[in-house]
Amino acid sequence: MDKMSLCGMTADEIFRLIEPSGFTLSHAVSISNSIYKKRTSEISQITKIPRKLKDELAVIAGSGIFMPVASEVSVDETVKFLFRTETGKEFETVYIPDNKRHTVCVSAQSGCRMGCPFCVTARYGFRGNLSAGEIVNQIISLPDAGKVTHIVFMGMGEPMDNIDNVLKACEIITSEWGLAISPRNVTVSTVGITSGVEKFLKSSECNLTLSLHSPFNEERKRVVPVEKKYPAQKIIEIMKNYPVKKKRRFSLAYVMIKDLNDTDNHLEGLKALLKGSIIRINLLPYHPVGNDLNRSSTAERMQFFKHNLVISGISASVRKSRGIDISAACGLLATGLIN
């Protein structure tokens, strides 16, 4: 009999599992705290529950915690980890230490099926969705898991293409019986699947980022295929009109490519698109791979964009890349899966 995984279960689900044997919700919370906060990988070592419960659990369940199979360390101390499931799915996770802020960039899928040509993960192909447990495990199995302050869903895969597992992972990450990380410190990034975005906004209090590429529909279609079915302008309108609770952030990720989407015309398009909204725009450098002749916009051009957006009343920032030398930066995961 295949054992179920406790990592990936909510406290209520654990309670429903143990309640028929007479155990309580308090016991379920102790189990979830041991898995998510203490990262206990052996059921026999779970604290604050009776021996009888440990014995019964061990027959039907495992912790679900599994370690990465390999890792690489960047010169800037960013670490990329490779995970492999029992069924052979591989996916990468990035740990980014930065003073008091320690961020884990998690994958939602093994590979991706969005087909964006500038993204290396798309070339890897789609190997499958990750379960909520496989997503959360990317955080709690890391050597520095106890230091983690922020989570970003910006690794392999499209979160809105695996929305139910992503939402469940967000619940575990933010719940007091789980990792107890504030929703304000959790950001989910998407290329824009409207139904997924709407469900995410209603079901979670975590932050949302839309990867834009271009403010112009026809241009975006050539780089982000889902634009044909799910126009970014419609998603931005949803973001503009959605009632935002205090400190929840909506943003756009805009990867800047020299002479391709960094012209004055693109700057004016961004201004028009975001005028009167609280949506922030994060400007990021582009990372070419292999024979790609495209190059990132210069630092000066990125600062020019930022300055002109800010004086137009639009919140903007220039983000630096981390882990470029180990292919851990945005769009590079799966450049060469660690073996």
CA–CA distance, 85 with 65 (Å, rounded to integer):
11
Residue 332 lies in a domain: no
Host domain of residue 26: 4-62
Residues 267 and 284 in one domain: yes
* pLDDT at res. 245: 81
The set of residues, in sequence order, having a beta carbon less than 8 Å from that of 70 and lying 6+ positions away, is: 81, 82, 338, 339
Among candidate residues 92, 134, 158, 227, the one labeled active-site is: 92
Element (H, E) at 12: helix 11-18
* pLDDT at res. 228: 96
* pLDDT at res. 325: 79
Residues 142 and 219 in one domain: yes
Q: Is 170 a catalytic residue?
A: no
Residue 293 lies in a domain: yes
Residues 81 and 58 in one domain: no
221 exposed, middle or buried (CB, 10 Å; 0-12, 13-18, 19+)? Answer: middle
Answer left, alpha or beta for residue 203, where phi above 0 means left and psi between -120 and 50 means alpha. alpha
**Domain containing residue 33: CATH number:** 1.10.150.530
Q: Which of 62, 92, 108 is the last residue of a domain?
A: 62
Residues 13 and 109 in one domain: no
**Domain containing residue 213: CATH number:** 3.20.20.70
Number of domains the chain is built from: 2
Tens-binned pLDDT, residue by residue, of the chain (339 aa): 589 999 999 999 999 999 999 999 999 999 999 999 999 999 999 999 999 999 999 999 999 999 999 999 999 999 999 999 999 999 999 999 999 999 999 999 999 999 998 888 888 899 999 999 999 999 999 999 999 999 999 999 999 999 999 999 999 999 999 999 999 999 999 999 999 999 999 999 999 999 999 999 999 999 999 999 999 999 999 999 999 887 899 999 999 999 999 999 999 999 999 998 999 999 999 988 778 899 999 999 999 999 999 999 999 999 988 877 777 667 667 655 555
Residues 136 and 223 in one domain: yes
Residue type, 300: E
Residue 336 lies in a domain: no
Residue type, 269: G
Residue 55 lies in a domain: yes
Residue 338 lies in a domain: no
Residues 57 and 79 in one domain: no
Determine contact, residues 294/288, Cβ cutoff 8 Å. yes
Residue 334 lies in a domain: no
CA–CA distance, 254 with 307 (Å, rounded to integer):
15
CA–CA distance, 129 with 87 (Å, rounded to integer):
12
Q: Is 92 a catalytic residue?
A: yes
Residue 335 lies in a domain: no
* pLDDT at res. 289: 78
Residues 115 and 181 in one domain: yes
Residues 145 and 75 in one domain: yes
Residues 215 and 93 in one domain: yes
Among candidate residues 7, 170, 206, 330, the one labeled active-site is: 330
Residue 331 lies in a domain: no
* pLDDT at res. 321: 84
Residues 57 and 137 in one domain: no
Residues 123 and 14 in one domain: no
Residues 54 and 160 in one domain: no
Q: Looking at the whole model, is its pTM more than 0.85? A: yes
